[in-house]
A and B are shown apart, each in its own frame.
Chain A
Amino acid sequence: MILPPIDPNLESQVLHKPPLRDDNRQVAGKIAIFQYATVIAFVFLISGFWRLQVQNPQFYDERALANSVKSQPMAAPRGRILDRDGRVIVDNHSSFRLLLTRENLNEAHLAPIALGLDLDLADLQAKVRRYRTRPKYDPIVLKEVVTPADLSFVDSHRDFFPELLLTQDYKRAYPQNGMMAHVIGYTGEISEQELDMPEFAKYDPGTVIGKFGIERQYNDTLAGVDGQRQVVVDRLGQVRQVLKTKPATPGKDLALTIDLDLQAVAELAMDGRNGAVVALDPRTGEVLAMVSRPAFDLNKFAEHIKAADWKAITDNPDHPMLNRAIQAQLAPGSTFKPIMALAGLETGTIDMNWTVHCSGGATFYGGYHKCWQKGGHGTLSLHNAIVHSCDVFFYTLGDKMGINPIAYYANLVGFGHPSGIDLPNEASGIVPSPEWKLRNYREKWWAGETISVAIGQGALTVTPLQLARAIGGIAVGGTWHHPHLVRELDATEKPDQWPLDPDHVKDVIDGMYGVVNEGGTGGYAALKGIEVCGKTGTAQVASADFAKQKGGVDMTDNAWFVGFAPRSAPEIVVVALFDHGREGYLAAPIVRDVMKAYFDKKARIEALRQQQASLTARLSEAVHLGLPGPDSSAWQPHN
């Protein structure tokens, strides 16, 4: 080892200095004290580590684990909602939510974050202040839906703003413009009240559930089971390692009975009007189309609905949230007449030759009841009474029959109780009877009331769905299927049946055929090449109770049309309702349009099938002849 040279000036310096005290003994004792102090200091330090590391290391081990091992939920997508042909009505789109975690929040970052994400800084700061009292692990939701610009900002500033956290999420993509809003419904975070319901007992707070319509009715089918993964995160919340993964189970797809082609036609026809359209297959009870207007935009519910949007919906006097197809309870008006006719025939009260003379009105029990035709219909039998919707005829029939058979047959066709459709909160309507009046009003039934009920007025109320089901059931000869929106229910559904006399059914159907095709009130519903049957109805809203309740809102009549086709083997029954229908004459064309869409589609499919069949035949012929042809397996017609 080379040692440094000795300082040449050393000698002289030392000589010039006063001699230093060279006795170290007097400090020896003090150095010893320093040594003792050092020993004590080290014992003090080691005792500190003993306490932490040897006495209770588990406590700190657990805290270290809690620091680094976190459980992250993995969202399960809800099942899609499809139409009867497998076309997607409701889909999910994968989206990101942007959260601001508060465990490592640096308030100096708020300004650049607000700038980068185009947020209002004052708003953001206020939000952070509001969250002060909440637990630190509760993050602030910055954005429910992240745009590509936000995404690139977060990605490129990951190291600077560790408090920004993206979580994957699935959002519902609903049809636009309120299409099928009432049928589909929407989802939302489970509420306090819902948590107490047995229906939702198994869900935790914070779970997203169906709140309305199909989304609610079939929540268990549609909802998946969220997964979870255990990850090791570092201080910045970055995932370093995935320990365990329990994959999310996606919800099951749900095939509806709705036919989007028919639905679209009905939706377009109802655009800008208030009312409802229901189309059923009377042979199965499948709902082919269901429209209620006014509607609301489901996509406003797909994200957290804004307070202003919610207020706009609930404050609307037209009640957009009401599903008129199953919840509007209105007098059926003249659409009740086919049921009256059936009751008259079935009870033997009248036959087809029984006639009534209409002179524009008649007096019953001291009250004068007008016919809608001022001049009167003259003398007519049942067939013409249905075709021309003569009120006096049915007043007389009702008077002759009495209220009890009317109520019996009204109940038989499904009025007065819910149809059992698989949607929440279906209304039941009212079938008035002496018993009903006594129970609800503690009053005696007046025979005069029967006269109003006979033409579908008075206390009698039905929903559009009930009317469609009732007429459809009669049309197929006495089998009333329970309407449903999910195809799987076809097999398990048990219809209500009644052995109607086929002759009586035919007589009623013939009357309804006349309404459309013999210069009756429903001429607008006629369809070329298809035997359409139907019945119009104009129902006064101004029943005493209803007027009081509504406090003099719009008291114009409601316009109905119910129709089915074809006459001999009905496949579709359609009801259209217009609230306060100034455009009442349009109810029949809407029914016609929906039916036209149905039969056009059927014809198209049939033509396609024939084309494919002939193609297959020619192909097999070619193969049989040994001609060169394309691989036959690729030419399988698909059904």
Chain B
Amino acid sequence: MTRYLSARDLDWSLLLITLALCGIGILQIFSATLDSPLYHSAWWRQILYVAGGLLLMWLALAVDYHTLLHYVPTFYIISVAALAVTYVVGQTASGARRWIPLGGGLHLQVSEFVKLMIILLVARYLAEIKTETLEIREMTILSSLVLVPTLLVLKQPDLGTSLTYIAILMVGAFLAGLRRKYVVVIAVVTMLVLPVGWYSLKDFQRARLVSFLDPDRDPQGTGYQLIQSQIAVGAGGMFGKGVTKGTQTQLRFLPVSQKDFIFAALAEEHGFVGVVIVLSLFFVMIMRIVQNAQTAPDPVGMYICMGVASLLLFHVVVNVGMVAGLMPVTGIPLPFMSAGGSSIWSSFLALGLVNNVRLRRFVN
């Protein structure tokens, strides 16, 4: 049987939205790093990252996703090993070991790529269950599998990224028909574990959660980012201050305005109008991916697409919510927009998975 794959079958509108977001991101990085010598080439590097991301996306859709699923155990072992290596030799940045140095000033954030493995793992495991509902036994096994890399990332410590793994697992379990009583059980167990979790958090993470509830408690310390971000957003007003005109961004009151807080810089310089446009693009992007899930040729393809959709939704809600002061500071990037290669590449790889499923929807 000959397989027929056509370029027409790529999700062109999804790609267009993605490139639009990347373009806005590059513009914003350019503006945010205009006069800081440290990042003078950040916007230019971002263009290279996006180009590299497109290449990775192409690779990710080249191999049939069933083949990728076949290698999930291998990926799993590699992921856990890489996370362990990160923990040992990782570069320390703001108290966390998240990066493996690659030489030439480049660093690889392993946890960003482990997300994709989690998506495939959850998809394969859930697709192989034949029952109508997800029983406690399967749920326990799957949770345990996900928990190992999650704990390794949490230990770096990187609360935000480790929570994305949980988000993928939860959405998957929900779609697989997790029984309502188990949902209750999980909720109760979470409540019980929460105090223990509180004590296992690092000081700075605890301080971030406290300052989310009361940012003015320590306006120069842990509350600083939240307050400055809200000032930037609020000062933007309806139409914004204009590109390179935002004082919060340009005078560096806004922390890491080209990375985690890029959306605050955007909100300051482009105002509410810019915010609505970018959020609409993200909304359409997620809905497009959900549509691809609906038209997936098989459940495993559906799970893959939904995994990507839930990953992006979690990122957008947590990052943008943090910028607007609706969420605590967890330090996860905004996909396709925040400066940084690891985030861009893992996001494009995730898009590649969605297209991989889409390209093969007419098979059989």
Contacts and interface: CB of A to CB of B under 8 A. Distances in A.
Interface of A: 1, 3-7, 9-11, 13-14, 17-18, 20-24, 26-28, 30-31, 33-35, 38-39, 41-42, 44-46, 48-50, 52-54, 56-57, 59-61, 63-65, 67-68, 103-104, 136, 232-236, 240
Interface in B247-296: 247-248, 250-253, 267-268, 271-272, 275-276, 279, 282-283, 286-287, 290, 293-294, 296
B306 A34 contact: yes
A24 B251 contact: no
A24 B279 contact: no
A1 B7 contact: yes
A236 to B, nearest CB: 7
A46 B127 contact: no
Contact of A65 (B247, B271, B325): B247
B48 to A, nearest CB: 21
A34 B290 contact: yes
Contact of B235 (A11, A63, A236): A63
A572 B238 CA distance: 81
Given A6-B3, A27-B299, A49 B272 contact: yes
A31 B301 CA distance: 14
Contacts of B214: none
Contacts of A103: 220
A234 B251 contact: yes
A31 B326 contact: no
B70 interface: yes
B64 A3 contact: no
A6 B238 contact: no
Contact of A233 (B7, B251, B275, B298): B251
B175 A31 contact: yes
Nearest to B248: A64
Nearest to B286: A38
A4 B58 CA distance: 8
Contacts of B70: 13
Contacts of A5: 62
A56 B321 contact: no
Contacts of B250: 234
B283 A42 contact: yes
Contacts of A44: 317, 321, 326
Which 10 residue pairs are nearest across A and B when measured between Cβ atoms?
A60-B234, A4-B62, A48-B324, A57-B237, A1-B7, A64-B235, A234-B251, A53-B272, A52-B234, A235-B252
Contact of A7 (B67, B177, B276, B317): B67
Contacts of A3: 5-7, 62, 359
Query: By CB atoms of chain A within 10 A, which of B175, B297, B324 has the most?
Result: B324
Interface in B54-83: 58-59, 61-64, 66-67, 70
B250 to A, nearest CB: 8
A52 B321 contact: no
Interface stretch (B88-96, B180-188, B225-233): B225-233
Given A53-B267, A67-B251, A31 B299 contact: no
Interface in B308-327: 309-310, 313, 316-317, 320-321, 324-326
Contacts of B67: 7, 9-10, 13
Contacts of A235: 251-253
A33 B294 CA distance: 13
B: interface residue count bin:
35 or more
A234 B7 CA distance: 50
A44 B316 CA distance: 12
A48 B321 contact: yes
B210 interface: no
A41 B235 contact: no
A388 B271 CA distance: 100
A48 B325 contact: yes
B324 A45 contact: yes
A60 B233 CA distance: 8
Interface string B115-129: 000000000000110
B234 A6 contact: no
Nearest to A234: B251
B315 to A, nearest CB: 11
Given A3-B5, A45-B321, A46-B279, 7 more contacts: A3-B6, A4-B59, A6-B5, A38-B287, A49-B272, A53-B275, A63-B235
B329 to A, nearest CB: 15
B324 to A, nearest CB: 4
B171 interface: yes
B300 A20 contact: yes
Interface of A is mostly: helix
B302 interface: yes
A108 to B, nearest CB: 12
Contacts of A41: 313, 316-317
29 contacts: A7-B64, A9-B67, A10-B3, A10-B66, A13-B66, A13-B67, A20-B127, A31-B175, A34-B306, A38-B287, A38-B313, A41-B316, A42-B283, A44-B317, A44-B321, A44-B326, A46-B279, A49-B267, A49-B324, A50-B272, A52-B230, A52-B234, A54-B237, A56-B234, A57-B236, A61-B237, A64-B253, A68-B253, A235-B251
Given A20-B127, A38-B286, A235-B252, A45 B320 contact: yes
Contacts of B132: 26
Given A38-B313, A52-B234, A240 B63 contact: no
B137 interface: no
Given A42-B279, A48-B326, A24 B247 contact: no
Nearest to B70: A13
A508 B291 CA distance: 123
B251 A240 contact: yes
Contact of B324 (A18, A52, A59, A64): A52
Contacts of A53: 233-234, 236-238, 267, 271-272, 275
A632 B81 CA distance: 97
B3 A46 contact: no
A64 B232 contact: yes
B44 interface: no
B11 to A, nearest CB: 13
Nearest to B294: A31
B204 interface: no
Query: By CB atoms of chain B within 10 A, which of A33, A46, A240 has the most?
Result: A46
A11 B364 CA distance: 12
B174 interface: yes
A346 B294 CA distance: 129
Contacts of A54: 237-238, 272
A60 B275 CA distance: 17
Interface in B326-342: 326
Contacts of B233: 49, 52-53, 60
A240 B247 CA distance: 11
A6 B313 CA distance: 31
Contacts of B175: 27, 30-31, 34
A59 B234 contact: yes
A509 B295 CA distance: 127
Contacts of A22: 297-299
Contacts of A39: 283
A57 to B, nearest CB: 4
A17 B247 CA distance: 59
Contacts of A240: 251
B290 A35 contact: yes
Contacts of A35: 287, 290
A23 B300 CA distance: 11
Contacts of B220: 103-104, 136
Contacts of A21: 127, 130, 298-299
Contacts of A14: 66
Given A21-B127, A57-B234, A68 B321 contact: no
A59 B233 CA distance: 11
Given A45-B317, A54-B238, A30 B251 contact: no
Interface string B209-249: 00000000000100000001011111111100000000110
Nearest to A9: B67
Contacts of A57: 234-238
